[in-house]
């Protein structure tokens, strides 16, 4: 089983608005309302990939109740810890004429120390039967920035491999707690190491910079693919995987689908080359389907043959 954790779950509304112009009145062409947040997006993609998964996190108020109902209706097994605050909502505007998207993200609810402890207690229980635990997304307002670091230390005792996908200070504290895998995007990785990347050589060099901070394995997603550092026994390998070019409909949740594809392949005992190519195919496929964490397995199969994998020599 794979357990995903979304401390700051949301109800996402995705609206297609052709030729979007700020300050003008528009009518949306299509809309989709669904539970969201990075961990939920990962869980949704894993379900499509037919991997056993349970989505957990915090949910409160009418929005939180709807998040749980919608997840259940989707067939996603879930076990959210109830909180007194109201879960947030987000709105994503996608212009299908140019592929651009605009995100409007509410702040998360206030969460008590007791509610956070209850979440960790439930996680320690469900993680005993898990191969992976994915800690993903932002933290609710006023939650200590080292919360992920504390969670990693506690959950490591269950024997599950801990994956972290966050940003900012929660990511910085989290990598120091030595998770099994960390999966930032390029912007998040640049913030973590303190400088921008000029090209693929900088991406590969950043893998080692981040690995030295604590995590055993590192994935960095960027616009046209994935850079990866993986450790197999005493061996450290670095990869670049370039995605095939496609007509992008939207990129929200593409990194989450990529992470789901990687974990799904490893769960089926694929080797690293296969798993990384499958990851990029899943992330690319998700850009062809509206809604975060959604993808068509037929697209994955087609795109898999078009991904390019390289194993560059470190500078």
Backbone conformation region of residue 194, classed left if phi is above 0, alpha if psi is from -120 to 50, else beta: left
Residue 204: φ, ψ to 5°: -65, -40
Helix, coil or strand: residue 235: strand
- State the pTM of this model: 0.92
115 part of a folded domain: yes
* Alpha-carbon gap, residue 286 to 119, rounded angstroms: 30
* Alpha-carbon gap, residue 189 to 171, rounded angstroms: 9
Q: What is the pLDDT of residue 17?
A: 81
* CATH number assigned to the domain comprising residue 53: 3.40.1190.20
**Tens of pLDDT along the chain (315 residues)?**
999 999 999 998 887 788 877 776 777 766 778 899 999 999 999 999 999 999 999 999 999 999 999 999 999 999 999 999 999 988 878 777 787 878 788 888 999 999 999 999 999 999 999 999 999 999 998 899 999 999 999 999 999 999 999 999 999 999 999 999 999 999 999 999 999 999 899 999 999 999 999 999 999 999 889 999 999 888 999 999 999 999 887 788 899 999 999 999 999 999 999 999 999 999 999 999 877 889 999 999 999 999 999 998 765
Could you tell me the residue range of the domain that residue 81 belongs to? Answer: 2-310
Residues 54 and 34 sit within 8 Å (Cβ to Cβ): no
Q: How large is the angle between the packed helices 38-48 and 61-74, nearest 10 degrees? A: 10
57 part of a folded domain: yes
List 12's β-bridge partners, or say none.
34, 90
* Alpha-carbon gap, residue 85 to 312, rounded angstroms: 48
Kindly report, residue by residue over 92-118, the tens digit of the pLDDT. Answer: 787 777 878 787 888 889 999 999 999
Q: What is the largest CA-CA distance in the chain?
A: 59
Q: Of 178, 164, 193, nearest to 231 (Cα)?
A: 178
**SS3 assignment for 137-153:** CCCCCCCCCCHHHHHHH
Residue 238: φ, ψ to 5°: -125, 140
315 part of a folded domain: no
Q: Supply the DSSP symbol for 129.
A: G
Q: Of 233, 242, 237, nearest to 207 (Cα)?
A: 237
* Alpha-carbon gap, residue 213 to 202, rounded angstroms: 17
* Alpha-carbon gap, residue 82 to 179, rounded angstroms: 26
* Alpha-carbon gap, residue 54 to 150, rounded angstroms: 21
Kindly report, residue by residue over 175-191, the tens digit of the pLDDT. Answer: 999 999 999 999 999 99
168 part of a folded domain: yes
Q: What is the pLDDT of residue 314?
A: 64
CA distances from 193 to 3, 171, 207 (A): 28, 11, 10
* Alpha-carbon gap, residue 123 to 247, rounded angstroms: 39
Domains in the chain: how many in total? 1
* Alpha-carbon gap, residue 242 to 203, rounded angstroms: 13
286 part of a folded domain: yes
10 part of a folded domain: yes
Residues 208 and 221 sit within 8 Å (Cβ to Cβ): no
List 57's β-bridge partners, or say none.
6, 80
């Amino acid at each position: 089983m794979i357990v995903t954790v979304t401390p700051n779950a949301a109800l996402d509304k995705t609206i297609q608005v052709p030729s979007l112009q700020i300050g003008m009145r528009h009518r949306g062409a299509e809309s989709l309302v669904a539970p969201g947040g990075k961990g939920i997006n990962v869980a949704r993609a894993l379900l499509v990939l037919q991997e056993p998964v349970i989505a957990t996190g915090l949910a409160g108020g009418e929005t939180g109740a709807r998040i749980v109902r919608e997840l259940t209706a989707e067939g996603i097994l879930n076990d959210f810890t109830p909180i007194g605050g109201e879960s947030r909502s987000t709105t994503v505007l996608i212009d299908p004429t140019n592929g651009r998207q605009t995100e409007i993200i509410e702040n998360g609810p206030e969460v008590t120390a007791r509610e956070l402890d209850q979440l960790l207690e439930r996680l320690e229980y469900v993680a005993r039967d898990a191969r992976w635990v994915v800690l993903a997304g932002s933290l609710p307002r006023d939650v200590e920035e080292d919360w992920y670091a504390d969670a990693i230390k506690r959950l490591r005792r269950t024997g599950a491999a801990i994956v972290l996908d966050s940003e900012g200070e929660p990511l910085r504290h989290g990598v120091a707690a030595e998770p099994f895998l960390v999966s930032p995007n390029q912007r998040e990785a640049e913030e973590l190491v303190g400088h921008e990347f000029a090209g693929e050589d900088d991406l590969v060099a950043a893998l080692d910079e981040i690995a030295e901070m604590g995590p055993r394995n590192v994935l960095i997603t960027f616009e046209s693919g994935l850079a990866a550092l993986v450790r197999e026994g005493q061996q450290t390998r670095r990869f670049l995987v370039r995605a095939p070019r496609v007509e992008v409909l939207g990129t929200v949740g593409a990194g989450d689908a990529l992470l789901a594809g990687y974990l799904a392949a490893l769960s089926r005992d694929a080797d690293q080359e296969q798993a990384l190519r499958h990851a990029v195919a899943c992330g690319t496929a998700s850009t062809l389907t509206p809604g975060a964490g959604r993808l068509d397995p037929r697209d994955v199969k087609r795109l898999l043959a078009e991904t390019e994998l390289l194993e560059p020599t470190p500078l």
